[in-house]
Amino acid sequence: MQEDFTDRPSAPTLAVPSGRGSRLARLGWMATGIAGGMVAEGARQLAQGNRPKMSDLLLTPANARRVADQLAKLRGAAMKVGQLVSMESGDLLPPALAEILARLRSDARAMPKAQVSSVLDAQWGKDWQKKFRHFSFTPMAAASIGQVHRAQTKDGRDLAVKIQYPGVRESIDSDVDNVATLFRLSGLLPKSMDIQPLLRDAKRQLHDEADYIREGGYLRQYGELLADAPDYALPQLHPDLTTHSVLAMSVVGGVPIESLADAPQADRDRVMTLLFALLLRELFEFRLVQTDPNFANYRYDTATRQLILLDFGATRPYKAAMANEFRRLMKGAMAGDRDMMDKAAMAIGYYDASTQEKHRQTILDMGEIAIEPFTRHGPYDFGTSDVLPRLRALGIDLGLDRDFWQLPPADAMLLQRKFGGLYLLAIRLRARVNLHELAQTGLASRKRP
């Protein structure tokens, strides 16, 4: 077969600024644009006879668009901060900012061919193309820290090659801090919002996700852990082509998991049952959890009826003590035992002995609501669930109460995020899942020797 390194016309590309100076300049342009937008909007309002408040000038759709556009161009940590703020705090954000930052969850522009080649030259050597029969420079997918390309080696392997954007690893801490500072100085986030826990999580998660050798190790480990579970499928790691910045895997098929929204009820129920059963095994049996709830991390093979698991960059080991306290928290909620829940919540770190009683009770209320689907005998109908709105309302009240400063550890927040992500997907699919039955098995399981 003739070697092929050409591509069909694709969507516009945009080089990723890789140097510290060029990335800082992008952030400076964003701040300058916001300031200019304030002046223009202020002049317009005064011409109409209005006396605008500073917050009204800052929180315009145009200024929010400037923020989103510059973060999308930077990608990496800068884009990830926007994604996390939009996912975690959407209900506290001004509507204009919340709407436009939400675009960052999927709005990533691809690197141009020359930049892709430069990265591969550095990782695989300048003669890397001699190993391939075909390499598509048009990515299959582009996200915050990397993009995925289809390729075929001369020895016949069909690969999905994830390539990290240049400069991402080196710029993580400074990008996160700089973006957070700009959010604060620009007024695009309310002063009452404490985003420090999100920033710490973003840094750690990004450092983990930016190490593709680490991710490849977890991909292989999950394959071994799920060798007894044929309902799940994973890509195969190709370590000879994997580096810290390039991850080579076998190509997997399937359809996006959210595309099952119109599938038969039985299929939707089965998929979500598999996902919840896996999460319980991860926490209580493997003590290893893939904590990123992004829907793009799952696909479904309609022919084999297998759930396909992708992207293990956010995988996190859990200590026995933490897993056991979550077990006790769930058991307490399912049994209606608030005293058991209280002891578990304190041990996890949701609060301590100095926490006001009203705040402790609010957190326990939230725990009961969160675990409510597991307490119902028989299938729980997520299509009619109001669990997330009720949790959100209590969370907003607690978050805005400046007398409450206790923050749970990152392990707890990431696990909450994972459960919340599965709840969102189950609601999207209108699934009915017998979580009570799954919990009976999951809570009784123990870590493998």
Cβ pair 314, 208 in contact under 8 A: yes
Which two tokens mark 53?
A: 């408040």
Cβ pair 5, 64 in contact under 8 A: no
Dihedral angle, C-alpha 347, 333, 277, 295, nearest 10 °: -80
Neighbouring-strand partners of residue 255: 300
Q: How many helices (H) and strands (E) does the chain have?
A: 16, 13
List 292, 311, 342, 411, catalytic entry = 292
């300048």: which residue's tokens? Answer: 126
The SS3 assignment for 212 reads: helix
Positive or negative CA dihedral for 88, 221, 171, 102? negative
**411 among known catalytic residues:** no
Question: How many Å from the N-terminal Cα to the C-terminal Cα in the chain?
Answer: 49
Q: From CA 231, how far away is CA 35, in angstroms rounded?
A: 54
Q: Output the DSSP codes for 169-192.
A: HHHHHHHHHHHHHHHHHHT-S-TT
Label residue 325 exposed, middle or buried (CB < 10 Å: 0-12, 13-18, 19+). Answer: buried
Positive or negative CA dihedral for 55, 57, 60, 66? negative
């050409």: which residue's tokens? Answer: 6
Catalytic positions are: 292
